[in-house]
Amino acid sequence: MTQIPRRVYEARPALRLAILVFLWSLPVEAQKAPDVYEKWCTPCHGAGDNKPGTISAGALYKGSKPAVLAERTDLTAAGIRSVVRKGMYIMPRFRKTEVSDAELDTIVAFLTRTPQLAK
């Protein structure tokens, strides 16, 4: 069983429950998703101050969508892959030698709440 990351316990109660249900529904290989997301996405797209992706999304969406990436429910696999590989606004692109295809699959599965790894 995967250890539940501290940030899950610090999340809002409804979000915490959704994250836990999601994590328990994943196959073992996908249970590393929070760690991969934490490594590559949270530094810019997490909650809190000084997160340029969250600040940018907040300014762009003006409250119509959550600024924190993990709270979004409208993200698509194709959209995530495109933004990671090509970049968008202030976000740089990430080469396969930086974020591997396997890691990107894991991030996509995490953000789209897909129980199996998205291909």
Owner of token pair 């969508």: 65
Q: What is the pLDDT of residue 119?
A: 40
| pLDDT, position 117 | 46
- Indicate if the alpha-carbon torsion angle 83, 42, 27, 71 is positive or negative: negative
Domains parsed from the chain with CATH numbers? 6-112 (1.10.760)
pTM over 0.75: no
**Per-residue pLDDT tens digits for 76-90:** 999 999 999 999 988
How do residues 24-74 score in pLDDT, each as one tens digit? Answer: 565 545 557 788 989 999 999 999 889 999 999 999 999 999 999 999 999
